[in-house]
Amino acid sequence: MLKSKSRLANKLSFFIAVLLLAVFLLISVFCFRILFTQTQQNLLKQVALQEKAISSEIVHIFENARQYTHQMSLNRDITTYLKGVDSKDEIRTHENYPYVLDYLTKIKESSPLHFLAWVANEKANFYLDNSNTVPDESYVVKDRPWYEVALSSDKPVFTNPYVEWNTRKTVVSSIQALREDTSVYGFVVVDIMLDTIPGIIESRTVDFNDKTFLITSDGTYLYHPDKQKIMTESIYDDGLYEAMKSSTFKDFFEEIKYNDTSYFMSSYTIGENGWQLISLIDSNRIKKEIINIFTSIVFIVLFFFLLAIISIYFIVSKTTKPYSILSIFADDIANGDFSKNIPENYLKRKDEMGVISISFQRIIDAFRDENQSLEEKITEKNRELEEQYEYIFQTEKAASLGNLVAGVAHEINTPLGIGVSTASHISQLNNDVLQKLNDGTMTKEDLKNFMINLAESSSLLENNLNRASELIKSFKQVAVDQISEAKTSFLLKDNINSVIISLRSTYKNAGHTIKLDCPED
């Protein structure tokens, strides 16, 4: 029984463990969902901060150039110079030339991000930069890629990247057209080289598996992890457009396939020129971070789960131990052992266990008293039953013997009746012979007939008397066997034959024939 109760403790621990496991699983699934969402959000914030930082640095470069461009547009020497130069001959002979060149040099040196500072004039079809470079006759102002951009606004604007005339470097120009009334008399420009942008982007990239692109409004790469593609290819050439064509180039964060790799894409607009900073975050990085964090959570959960299970098992075992003890007493009561009493410390408990212990003790006392009373009653009843059994046994034996006597008497009556009749017949024969002898009428034939009849009657008389003797002998043996309970040796065949003979009156008229097949010994 203690083993059974021990299993009860195991079952309780098992069910509680299953319940806790289900709760932990639900919590784990819930935590995984939260973790996945939180990781994505954190990554989005991280990427957003990264893009914002890159954008801020790039915007700072352009804003710096814009401010210096605007500052140049307000310089009196420059405006006077551009208004006064009507031909190439006046470029270096104008009275304001030294001041303009000096100012351009200062603008260039004011920031390491400035590549060139220069002014241009369509009327004289020239430009003058801080290095005192003046183009030859092939230079045409209105054919330059910045010309139409500059005319489109009264404020400083930025061009798309183009190749600078003299250095053949790819630059972006902050340019402003100078107007008097409605006519344009000149241009002030600060050039920025794109060589500074890769360093800014690469310094902000967190993971080498991530990819960052900077593209112009027409899709040309201003920055690409593959340097060979910068300014030579666009998003339409290497499959990026196909991966992101469903987007609208607004800020978003969604999963795409690029070069057979899954990425999360974010797009960020930079400044007013429509440039896009596109970040591709390797989805495996997110999954790896989630798996690492989730694995740590699982190990922590498993640790506390095992700790909880062990604690629950010991608590349940300790709690169910008194019930295990009481189950032993219950088992003893069920087996009829009322000699044991509940331990005194259990009877003195003030909780439910104490109430159960007192109830068990009362049951034991009640069963003990009742058992003693029942044992006395059973002893008395057994004595009475033994007496009744003896009486019934003797009565049954007497009745059985009476039935046997009646049957045997009926069987004996037949051969004895025949014997009596035969004896009477012999007596009659004898009297007839004596009468003939006395009368002298006896013949040889009469004597012969007398002898034949006498022999037949004697044989019949002998057979019936033997039969009667056999019945009496069998009855005697059966009667002795029924009355006596003493052990004795007997021949089985003779005993069976005696029983058959004694019961002949019972079965002879029932149409049955009994054949005995038994060895003699």
Q: How confident is the model at residue 256 (pLDDT cuts 50, 70, 90)?
A: confident
Q: Cα 448 to the chain's mean position, in Å?
A: 118
Q: What is the pLDDT of residues 9-29, one digit of tens each?
A: 677 777 777 887 787 778 777
Residue holding tokens 């498993």? 302
* Rounded Cα–Cα distance for residues 40 and 211 (Å): 17
Q: In this structure, are 163 and 284 located in the same domain? A: yes
In a domain, 371, yes or no: no
Cα-Cα-Cα-Cα dihedral sign, residues 218, 219, 224, 230: negative
Average pLDDT over residues 144-152: 91
User: Taking 80 as the threshold, does the pLDDT of residue 270 lie above it?
Assistant: no
* Rounded Cα–Cα distance for residues 40 and 46 (Å): 10
Q: How confident is the model at residue 5 (pLDDT cuts 50, 70, 90)?
A: very low
Q: In this structure, are 75 and 202 located in the same domain? A: yes
pLDDT at 504: 66
Mean pLDDT of the chain: 79
Provide the residue count of the chain: 521
In a domain, 213, yes or no: yes
**Boundary residue ending a domain (296, 319, 342):** 319
Q: How confident is the model at residue 40 (pLDDT cuts 50, 70, 90)?
A: low
Amino acid sitting at position 446: D
Average pLDDT over residues 334-342: 72
Q: In this structure, are 302 and 164 located in the same domain? A: yes
Average pLDDT over residues 318-333: 71
Q: How confident is the model at residue 194 (pLDDT cuts 50, 70, 90)?
A: confident
pLDDT at 251: 43
In a domain, 334, yes or no: no
* Better-predicted residue by pLDDT, 131 or 367: 131
* Rounded Cα–Cα distance for residues 251 and 276 (Å): 10
Helices assigned H by DSSP within 239-351: 240-244, 283-334, 344-347
* Better-predicted residue by pLDDT, 317 or 429: 429
**Boundary residue ending a domain (319, 347, 365):** 319
* Better-predicted residue by pLDDT, 239 or 488: 239
Report DSSP state, residue 252. -
In a domain, 489, yes or no: yes
* Rounded Cα–Cα distance for residues 471 and 480 (Å): 14
CB 251 within 8 A of CB 265: no
Q: Return the top range by mean pLDDT from 156-160, 195-199, 318-322.
A: 156-160
Q: What is the CATH number of the domain that holds 54?
A: 3.30.450.20
- Smallest CA-to-CA distance from 422 within 464, 469, 452 is with 464
Q: Return the top range by mean pLDDT from 122-126, 157-161, 279-283.
A: 122-126
| Token pair listed for 224 | 């690409």
In a domain, 258, yes or no: yes
**Boundary residue ending a domain (287, 319, 351):** 319
Q: In this structure, are 314 and 459 located in the same domain? A: no
Q: In this structure, are 410 and 313 located in the same domain? A: no
In a domain, 454, yes or no: yes
- Smallest CA-to-CA distance from 264 within 444, 12, 48, 488 is with 48
- Smallest CA-to-CA distance from 193 within 228, 168, 218 is with 168
Query: Cβ neighbours of residue 262 under 8 Å, at least 6 residues apart?
Result: 255, 256, 282, 283, 284
| pTM given for the model | 0.49
Out of 132-136, 150-154, 212-216, 334-338, least confident range? 334-338
> Exposed, middle or buried, 321 (CB in 10 Å: 0-12/13-18/19+)?
middle
Q: In this structure, are 305 and 409 located in the same domain? A: no
Query: Cβ neighbours of residue 28 under 8 Å, at least 6 residues apart?
Result: 297, 298, 301
User: Taking 90 as the threshold, does the pLDDT of residue 100 lie above it?
Assistant: yes
User: Taking 50 as the threshold, does the pLDDT of residue 4 lie above it?
Assistant: no
In a domain, 325, yes or no: no
pLDDT at 130: 93
Q: In this structure, are 117 and 241 located in the same domain? A: yes
User: Taking 70 as the threshold, does the pLDDT of residue 205 lie above it?
Assistant: no
Q: How confident is the model at residue 186 (pLDDT cuts 50, 70, 90)?
A: very high
Q: In this structure, are 267 and 409 located in the same domain? A: no
* Rounded Cα–Cα distance for residues 264 and 252 (Å): 10
pLDDT at 179: 93
Q: How confident is the model at residue 114 (pLDDT cuts 50, 70, 90)?
A: confident
Average pLDDT over residues 450-461: 82
Helices assigned H by DSSP within 163-230: 196-204
Q: In this structure, are 46 and 166 located in the same domain? A: yes
pLDDT at 387: 83
User: Taking 70 as the threshold, does the pLDDT of residue 7 lie above it?
Assistant: no
In a domain, 391, yes or no: no
Q: In this structure, are 37 and 150 located in the same domain? A: yes
User: Taking 80 as the threshold, does the pLDDT of residue 354 lie above it?
Assistant: no
Q: Return the top range by mean pLDDT from 174-183, 380-389, 492-501.
A: 174-183
Query: Cβ neighbours of residue 194 under 8 Å, at least 6 residues apart?
Result: 161, 170, 171, 172, 222, 223, 230, 231
Q: In this structure, are 313 and 438 located in the same domain? A: no
User: Taking 70 as the threshold, does the pLDDT of residue 506 lie above it?
Assistant: no
Share of the chain above pLDDT 90, in %: 16
Average pLDDT over residues 432-444: 83
* Rounded Cα–Cα distance for residues 383 and 365 (Å): 28
Question: Which residues span the domain enclosing 94?
Answer: 1-319
Complete DSSP assignment for 30-63: HHHHHHHHHHHHHHHHHHHHHHHHHHHHHHHHHH
* Rounded Cα–Cα distance for residues 478 and 481 (Å): 5
pLDDT at 488: 66
Domains identified in the chain, total number: 2
Helices and strands (H and E) in the chain: how many: 12, 11
What are the b/e assignments for 332-370, b being 16+ CB within 10 Å?
A: ebeeeebeeebeeebeeeeeebeebbeebbeebeeeeee
CB 204 within 8 A of CB 140: no
pLDDT at 479: 63
Q: What is the pLDDT of residues 209-252, one digit of tens each?
A: 678 888 887 888 888 888 888 888 888 887 777 777 655 544 44
Share of the chain above pLDDT 70, in %: 83
* Rounded Cα–Cα distance for residues 394 and 388 (Å): 10
pLDDT at 508: 64
Q: In this structure, are 288 and 417 located in the same domain? A: no
* Rounded Cα–Cα distance for residues 474 and 498 (Å): 5
- Smallest CA-to-CA distance from 191 within 155, 166, 214 is with 166
User: Taking 70 as the threshold, does the pLDDT of residue 208 lie above it?
Assistant: no
